[in-house]
Amino acid sequence: MTRTEARTIADLIEDRFGLATEAGRGMAAEGPLARILSRRTHRRYDSRPVPEDLLEVLFACAFSASAKSDLQQASVVVIRDAEKRRRIADLIPSMPWIGNAPVFMIWLGDSRRIRRICDMRGKPFANDHLDAFLNAAVDCGLAMQTFILAAEATGLGCCPISVVRNHVDQIGEILELPDWVFPVAGLCLGWPAREGFISMRLPPSVTVHTDRYDDSCLAEEIGGYDRRRDARYSIPAEQQRMTDKYGVADFYGWSEDKARQVSVTEREKLGPYVRRKRFCLD
Ligand SMILES: Cc1cc2nc3c(=O)[nH]c(=O)nc-3n(C[C@H](O)[C@H](O)[C@H](O)COP(=O)(O)O)c2cc1C
């Protein structure tokens, strides 16, 4: 038996979190759980196309995701028109994978269908409040992630693109989105050109609570996480964000990077867009 064959699910959990565990020690590192634990986003693809029938299979998997009340409020637009693709890619030049990926699509939250069905059935849509928006967003996220996991199971790689929401007016116009339909994320798809890397996650002690929400140890937990991530991969000084405003940090961990990232306002047009698309967010 080679070393690789002897790896267990516990080893994969350790890779993901950078923490020792005995959970899954008796389970071989193979099958769907192993694939989920070692999954990663891919932003570079080789030139091989994605076969049409495989794409159809992946959409069938995506729309097998669970859906709130069976209302099925996710939709997707595959961008096949080269000019539309170029216009979208040009909006986001910092992410060339949008234009380069063999396949690019945009996932949508879709509260329009059920409202049209109410019209067709002569019934009122009596849930015109925030939950209608949330349900469509959640359904869309579940369908997109199911698509991603299905794609990764075949060896394909994906990269979601939430930055399409920074340009929601232009995306809405290009895709001709009607009322009650909004973009959740783009998705690049193709055969990975590189192996990629596992992105270390926050420890379960931060994300998994028992019986009540408790973040009393957050500061220490984040400190430990920053150090574990940095020990595996140190963000180079030249990749620190906004050094003109915040300077070059001696220790630049995940939390400093994320705090700097969200210290800049973006997507302030999304709320007005969604309201213009007639969602009531009260
Ligand atoms: C909803 C969503 C939106 C994302 N948007 C972008 C994006 O606009 N550009 C990008 O390069 N990656 C994007 N990503 C990829 C994340 O950066 C990536 O999932 C995260 O860094 C964790 O890495 P991993 O998926 O390899 O574990 C997005 C991921 C999700 C789930």
CA atoms within 13 A on the CB side of 251: 10
Q: Atom 1 (ligand 1): residue with closest C-alpha? A: 162
Residue 161, strand partner residues? 186
pLDDT at 273: 98
Of all protein residues, whose CA lies closest to atom 28 belonging to ligand 1? 160
Residues with CB under 6 A from ligand 1: 40-41, 43, 95, 159-163, 185, 199
- CA of 161 relative to ligand 1 center, distance in Å: 7
Query: What are 7-41's pLDDT values in tens digits?
Result: 999 999 999 999 999 999 999 999 999 999 999 99
**Smallest CA separation from ligand 1 atom 3, residue:** 162
Write the residue with the smallest CA distance to atom 14 of ligand 1.
160
Give the Å distance between the CA of 81 and the centre of ligand 1.
24
Alpha carbon of 160 to ligand 1 centroid (Å):
5
Give the Cα separation of 98 and 43 in Å (integer).
9
- Counts of helices then strands in the chain (DSSP H, E): 13, 4
The Cα–Cα gap between 203 and 212 comes to 17
Q: Is 52 helix (H, G, I), strand (E, B) or coil?
A: helix
Report the pLDDT value the prediction gives residue 5, as an integer from 0 to 100: 56
**Ligand 1 pocket mutation pick from 162, 188, 229 by most atoms within 8 angstroms of CB:** 162
How far away, in angstroms, is 115 Cα from ligand 1 center?
Answer: 31
DSSP 38: T
CATH code for the domain defined by 52-196: 3.40.109.10
Q: In this predicted structure, what is the pLDDT of residue 1?
A: 44
Which atom in ligand 1 lies closest to the alpha carbon of residue 145? Answer: 31
Measured over the CA atoms of residue 223, residue 224, residue 228 and residue 229, the dihedral's sign is negative
- The span from the CA of 185 to the CA of 141, in Å, is 9
- Pick the residue whose CA is nearest to atom 29 on ligand 1: 160
What pLDDT is attached to residue 124? 98
How far is ligand 1, taken at its centre, from the CA of residue 6, in Å? Answer: 31
In the chain, the amino acid numbered 258 is K
What stretches in the chain show pLDDT beneath 50?
A: 1-2
Average pLDDT over the chain, rounded to whole?
97
Give the closest residue to 97 by CA, choosing from 157, 154, 143, 142: 157
Predicted local confidence at residue 11, as pLDDT: 98
Determine the residue of 159, 194, 202 to mutate for testing ligand 1's pocket, defined as the one with the most ligand atoms within 8 A of the Cβ atom.
159
Domains of the chain by residue range: 1-38, 52-196, 204-261
